[in-house]
Amino acid sequence: MSKRIAVLVSGGGTNLQALIDAQLRGDLGGGEIVAVISTKEGAYALERAAKANIPGYVVPRKSYDSNRSMTQAMVAKLQELKIDLIVLAGCMVIFTEELTDTYPNAIMNVHPALIPSFCGKGYYGLHVHEAALEYGVKLSGATVHFVSAECDGGPIIAQKSVAVLENDTPETLQKRIMEEAEWILLPHAVKLFCEDRLTVVGRTVMIKE
């Protein structure tokens, strides 16, 4: 039975596009993106969804007085849509524990660094790459992990390293990590989930061959 996937977004949706492209190639392990849900009205990611004939929804953060009430509304929408897997793809809302409690080990996020480096509160978007360059690391990359109540603290599914070049700016490093790591890792992790090949034991994700 195919898994029903919802992709949660807030902006342009480049990782969403990588997932859509994988779905068009038949490369999501039988899973299907049945909903793209934006936390902002007018997000370009919704246009990407429409072009791919995927239903788009908006659960706007600004309509709720707290992250908790917004999270409760999101959970209700996801349950209404009978979602099996949630993928956070550039979703800029920190959800409260209602989401992880309802969907344990069924929410994925891609982070643009090698966790546990440059992760946690405040490390998002270009801030991650600014911190990596300031520290002077020679390798960065991306991590796909299950989402837990701890920010960027859930079990790691996959990681891929990317070289940091001497003349890199946060923007060039961001682009290389997206192209060489994020857009490859995220569809692959979704495929593994949809093929029932991921098992979480403690903090370790076991992958069945």
The set of catalytic residues is 111
Task: Yes or no: say if 117 and 169 are a contact pair by the CB < 8 Å rule.
Answer: no
Rounded CA gap, 105 and 20, in Å?
Answer: 22
- Position of tokens 């999270």? 71
B/e letters for 47-56, b = 16+ CB within 10 Å, e = fewer, are ebbeebebeb
Give which of 97, 106, 90, 143 is closest to 3, Cα–Cα: 106
Compute CA distances 182 → 78, 100, 189, whole Å: 24, 22, 10
Rounded CA gap, 114 and 91, in Å?
Answer: 19
148: phi then psi, degrees, rounded to nearest 5: -120, 180
Contacts of 43 (CB under 8 A, 6+ apart): 9, 10, 11, 12, 13
